[in-house]
Structure 1
Amino acid sequence: MPLSLLMLALSAFAIGTTEFVIMGLLPNVAADLGVSIPGAGWLVTGYALGVAIGAPFMAMVTAKLPRKAALVALMVIFIIGNLLCALASDYNVLMFARIVTALCHGAFFGIGSVVAAGLVAPNRRASAVAMMFTGLTLANVLGVPMGTALGQYAGWRSTFFAVTVIGVISLIGLLRFLPVKHDEEKLDMRAELAALKGAGIWLSLSMTVMFSASVFALFTYVAPLLGEVTGVTPRGVTWTLLLIGLGLTLGNVIGGKLADRNMALTLIGAFIVMAVVSTVLTWTSVALIPTEITLFLWATAAFAAVPALQVNVMTFGKAAPNLISTLNIGAFNVGNALGAWVGGSVIANGFGLTAVPLAAAVLAVIALLLTLITFRQSATVELAAATN
């Protein structure tokens, strides 16, 4: 396997870790900076909005650059942003630093997936892209619990220092091993923008938004839920995050196999299970073992939808492959921001932490309704051709 591909995976690991680890550190950050839990939750929202807004913007800014140069520039932004997070003197500086870090996220994955596919033979392109995104999966399995443990032991800033170091290693690896190609096709942004027509693309992106909103309404506040309702210790939170990461990984594998058989039923089934399990967590969250089981099932169901969502969007966005991959990352993060805001609003309005899973269930139901509408529309000539 090319070392350049491993460097892309390491970069994805670093980016995924810095995005998700804030959930495990939320109580620590809130206490240190003197803000409420919902206030700290806005750090998740701010990052997500930074990705959503920055993804198409950075894609256009880097459109004329060679892909290696674009990836290197984006990784430099990532390093600067994480260093600012580690050195942030107050909440406002930390929010600014999170947004700076987020700017590189969507464009890096969009451009990186194209580069990964070009590093191997044509019959191995899907595997190469999957290898890059394995870094994102490992960020949930290893990066988040390890980063949470480090932050609880040595302070939350130490986690961002550690991610900065990983970013520097990734940058060196990209500079050293990523080849320069002189025959790259230049991105025709006007052609790609013109291709973003049809209900299928926008319905699919909306499904991604609502799926991610459901996940992050709960995931953003899982640490305070575990600590204040379930009575889990800080060390126990780390182990629970590891369990959730394992569920996410298992769900990703299962979802990929199921989506190959029937994409529509996979999405419908995943959203139904997410809604049911999230509702159940409202009652099981008061006891340790039922909570752990419920969260594992929830994580498995959630990431079972991810491969199908990705394939679904790419199916409808065939005419705009470069832009649609970046927009889908943006859609995930719009959902992240929406979910974090919904969960924080539930808490801030006095409904309590146990109401957060119920809010996540409602968002999963909305995602389910959008899915039913999308595939019902596939009876039309345009959508039927895209989904067959």
Structure 2
Amino acid sequence: MKSFKFRFVVLVLIAFTLGCSEFLISGIIGNISKDFNQPLATVGLLVTIFAFVYAIFTPIVTLIIGKYKYYYSFIVLMLIYIIGNIMSALAFNYVILVISRIITAGVSGAMLSVALTFGNAIAPPKKRAFMVSWIFSGFSIATVAGLPMGTYIAHIANWHYSFWAVILLSITTLLLGVFALPKDLRAQVGDTSANQLDLMKDPLIIVGVLLPVFNAASSNLFNTFLAPLFTDILKFSATELSLLLSLIGILSIISSQIAGWLANHEGLKKIPLIFVLQFLLFISIYFALGNVLSSLAIIFILELTFNMVGSSMQIHFFDVAERSYPQSMVLASSLNPVFFNLGISLGSGTGSWVVSKYGLNSIGFGSAVYVVIALVVLLILNKMIGASKNETKLSNKNFE
């Protein structure tokens, strides 16, 4: 039962479980707003707070658990995660819900880092990009099954029950993880936090971490308010919203798989074209909202492109760590999710401002600004990577 395939499924399930809780707010934002009598923009800040806490706590928790076996760290983190979701399910006011989301966010990133580290250790070298892409696909699968189901439960019953569903899933994931994951994996003996942090001094990392920030800011500024865009602007019903979110989730899975292919074929060189396409679509959505079919076409194409960057960035961070900072592999595994969530916080926070000041139909313009910044960062990073490879070739030639 502890075969590669079974462990592979468990690692994807961990990401799926994390995604269900993280993305749930986007699907039930309207329900919470009505229940707690809070403005839509205020409830949207739950996404901002979650992502900000995620980004701050993940490297701290990751450095702490680097001293222990990851198997036992996973168990402790998952128990805290379950407690946080129980608090969300029982929340009777907005403040309690905020506190519960802070607790959940504080351990979510470290759990993903542990899953990626397990995957990197378990997978054969040629399947590393495949494993990474599928772990990230767990989040996309959450948008297909978890988010629409949570949204549907909220509409037919109550949003509190949506969190109880996440709790049941989390307990199942914990039990499977206890049975399946290797118990002896840990960081190299003697690796200190200071040594692990050497990775963060590398210019390829310093510039590289900016890409997931602005890539996430552009996509999540848009996605945080996608559900009310469907219901309030495009006038879809609650049942239709669940179906649309499922379709978007399928597109996200496809996007994540394309990301895995790109990661094996110098994806960072191809992604600038994707950013240009996103920019054009973000601008176009404002003018297309008067037509449902045109709006859906633009939204679906955008969703198909949103996950294409992650695997290439994760492999870039792993490559830099393996080449020069082998003691920092777990920290390297956390960089993409950490800075991606920092971008989520930036994007959703900006989105709340855009919605409150200019309305839902203007969110595409905010996303367009961030995707331009992401494009500039990527062009700089690609130039740096090229220069680094040339220096390595020259050094090897001189050595010969």
Which deviates more, 1-10 or 158-167?
Answer: 1-10
| Counterpart mapping for 1:142-291 below 5 A | 142-181=145-184, 185-186=188-189, 187-291=191-295
Q: Is the 8 A contact 2:215 2:374 kept in 1?
A: yes
1:138 equivalent among 126, 138, 141: 141
Cα deviation for residue 126 of structure 1 reads 4.5
- Indicate the residue corresponding to 2:73 in structure 1: 70
- Indicate the residue corresponding to 1:89 in structure 2: 92
Structure-1 separation of matches of 2:68 and 2:93: 35
2:341 equivalent among 310, 333, 342: 333
Cα deviation for residue 188 of structure 1 reads 3.4
Cα deviation for residue 9 of structure 1 reads 2.2
Matched, 1:117 2:124: no
SS at match of 1:296: helix
Structure-1 separation of matches of 2:286 and 2:237: 20
Which deviates more, 245-254 or 332-341?
Answer: 245-254
Relative to structure 1, the CA distance from residue 119 to residue 221 in structure 2 (aligned partners, 3 Å threshold; closer, same or farther) is: same
Amino acid at match of 1:264: L
Structure-2 separation of matches of 1:176 and 1:60: 25
Structure-2 separation of matches of 1:322 and 1:238: 36
Cα deviation for residue 213 of structure 1 reads 0.3
Q: Is the 8 A contact 2:275 2:371 kept in 1?
A: yes
Q: Is the 8 A contact 1:30 1:37 kept in 2?
A: yes
Q: Is the 8 A contact 1:271 1:302 kept in 2?
A: no
- Indicate the residue corresponding to 2:44 in structure 1: 41
Give the fraction of aligned pairs with identical amino acids, expressed as a percent: 26
Which deviates more, 373-382 or 212-221?
Answer: 373-382
Q: Is the 8 A contact 1:4 1:173 kept in 2?
A: no
Relative to structure 1, the CA distance from residue 257 to residue 160 in structure 2 (aligned partners, 3 Å threshold; closer, same or farther) is: same
Amino acid at match of 2:224: T
Relative to structure 1, the CA distance from residue 120 to residue 266 in structure 2 (aligned partners, 3 Å threshold; closer, same or farther) is: closer
Relative to structure 1, the CA distance from residue 383 to residue 364 in structure 2 (aligned partners, 3 Å threshold; closer, same or farther) is: farther
Cα deviation for residue 316 of structure 1 reads 3.5
Cα deviation for residue 330 of structure 1 reads 0.8
Q: How many residues align?
A: 385
Gaps of 5+ in 2: 394-400
Matched, 1:343 2:346: no
Query: Can you list the C-alpha shifts for 1:42-72, whole angstroms capped at 9, x where unaligned?
Result: 1001110111011011112222221110000
Cα deviation for residue 379 of structure 1 reads 5.0
Query: Can you list the C-alpha shifts for 1:61-109, whole angstroms capped at 9, x where unaligned?
Result: 2222211100001100110011111101111110110110011111111
Relative to structure 1, the CA distance from residue 5 to residue 260 in structure 2 (aligned partners, 3 Å threshold; closer, same or farther) is: closer
Q: Is the 8 A contact 2:63 2:193 kept in 1?
A: yes
Structure-2 separation of matches of 1:64 and 1:372: 37
Matched, 1:79 2:79: no
SS at match of 1:304: coil
Which deviates more, 268-277 or 253-262?
Answer: 253-262
Q: Is the 8 A contact 2:17 2:166 kept in 1?
A: yes
Which deviates more, 272-281 or 205-214?
Answer: 272-281
Cα deviation for residue 309 of structure 1 reads 2.5
Aligned CA-pair RMSD: 2.1
1:366 equivalent among 367, 373, 383: 373
Query: Can you list the C-alpha shifts for 1:296-351, whole angstroms capped at 9, x where unaligned?
Result: 100111112222232333334442322121122110000000000111101122x1
Relative to structure 1, the CA distance from residue 316 to residue 34 in structure 2 (aligned partners, 3 Å threshold; closer, same or farther) is: same
Cα deviation for residue 283 of structure 1 reads 1.7
| Counterpart mapping for 1:370-381 below 5 A | 370-381=377-388
Relative to structure 1, the CA distance from residue 228 to residue 116 in structure 2 (aligned partners, 3 Å threshold; closer, same or farther) is: same
Cα deviation for residue 207 of structure 1 reads 0.8
Query: Can you list the C-alpha shifts for 1:100-127, whole angstroms capped at 9, x where unaligned?
Result: 0011111111122222333455554544
Query: Can you list the C-alpha shifts for 1:18-63, whole angstroms capped at 9, x where unaligned?
Result: 1112111111111111111110011001110111011011112222
- Indicate the residue corresponding to 2:332 in structure 1: 324
Relative to structure 1, the CA distance from residue 124 to residue 380 in structure 2 (aligned partners, 3 Å threshold; closer, same or farther) is: closer
Query: Can you list the C-alpha shifts for 1:151-173, whole angstroms capped at 9, x where unaligned?
Result: 21111111111000111111112
SS at match of 1:261: coil
SS at match of 2:10: helix
Which deviates more, 58-67 or 112-121?
Answer: 112-121
Structure-2 separation of matches of 1:265 and 1:129: 19
Structure-2 separation of matches of 1:11 and 1:255: 20
Cα deviation for residue 237 of structure 1 reads 1.4
Q: Give TM-score scaled by structure 2 length.
A: 0.90
Matched, 1:292 2:296: yes
Relative to structure 1, the CA distance from residue 161 to residue 64 in structure 2 (aligned partners, 3 Å threshold; closer, same or farther) is: same
- Indicate the residue corresponding to 1:352 in structure 2: 359
Cα deviation for residue 385 of structure 1 reads 4.6
Relative to structure 1, the CA distance from residue 212 to residue 154 in structure 2 (aligned partners, 3 Å threshold; closer, same or farther) is: same
Q: Is the 8 A contact 2:140 2:250 kept in 1?
A: no
Amino acid at match of 1:64: K
Q: Give TM-score scaled by structure 1 length.
A: 0.93
Matched, 1:313 2:317: yes
